Amino acid sequence: MTLVQQLYDSPLATAIRESDNLFPILQTFHILGTIGLAGTIAVVDLRLLNVAFRREAPAAVAESLLPVTWVGFAIMAISGGLLFAAQSAKIYGNVFLRAKLLLLALAIANVVLFHSTTYRNIRAWGGEVSPATAARVFALLSLLLWSAVIVTGRFIAYF
């Protein structure tokens, strides 16, 4: 028996699948988590692109919102993992699920790469600074990748 089938047949996945309300409850958490994660990331990206909070230091905006981003990410990861488990055997071949997971990996890689390179200098930038080109590229990629994750995620249910 494959790993996906074992996950699908697990008591927790079966309970979610057989409940009337657990699936939409988890979906609701998944949407609220999206708001916490993507909403705060977008604000930081808009600062790095120099279109909002131009007078605030980029580091201050990023560091202040990071805990909210993490809470959103935790809610998304837990609810998303459970939603996947409940449907796993049926949807693991879904082209949009695979595209979403690939885009998610790229979005996370973009965060890790940004934080290990350009972000190291961010503390040196005070308020009213226009971020370096590299930071703007990371921010634009971030907005595009997280948007693509959301769009492909919505498409999973239909194909």
Partner 1 sequence: MIEAIFMWLGRTSVGTALQQSTAGFAATEALHILALSVVGGSILVANLTVLGRVLKTTAPETVFRQLQPFYRGALVLVAISGMMLVAAGPYKYYTNPLFPLKLGLLVVAVTLHAILSRRLNTQSVARRLAIASLVVWTSVVITGRWLGLI
Residue numbers of the site for partner 1 (CB under 8 A)? 24, 27-28, 31-32, 34-36, 38-40, 42-43, 46, 52-53, 55-56, 60-61, 64-65, 67-68, 147, 150-151, 154-155, 157-159
Instruction: Work out how close the CB of 139 gets to partner 1 at its nearest, in angstroms, rounded to a whole number.
Output: 14
CA-to-CA dists, residue 66 to 42, 61, 70, 97, 127, angstroms: 12, 9, 6, 27, 18
- Selection from 152, 150, 159, 157 nearest residue 37 by Cα: 150
Q: Which residues of 134-152 are buried (b: 16+ CB within 10 A; e: fewer)?
A: ebbebbebbbebbebbeeb
Instruction: Work out how close the CB of 1 gets to partner 1 at its nearest, in angstroms, rounded to a whole number.
Output: 32
User: Nearer Cβ to partner 1, position 67 or 81?
Assistant: 67
User: Nearer Cβ to partner 1, position 9 or 126?
Assistant: 126
Instruction: Work out how close the CB of 105 gets to partner 1 at its nearest, in angstroms, rounded to a whole number.
Output: 20
Instruction: Work out how close the CB of 141 gets to partner 1 at its nearest, in angstroms, rounded to a whole number.
Output: 16
d(CA 35, CA 103): 18
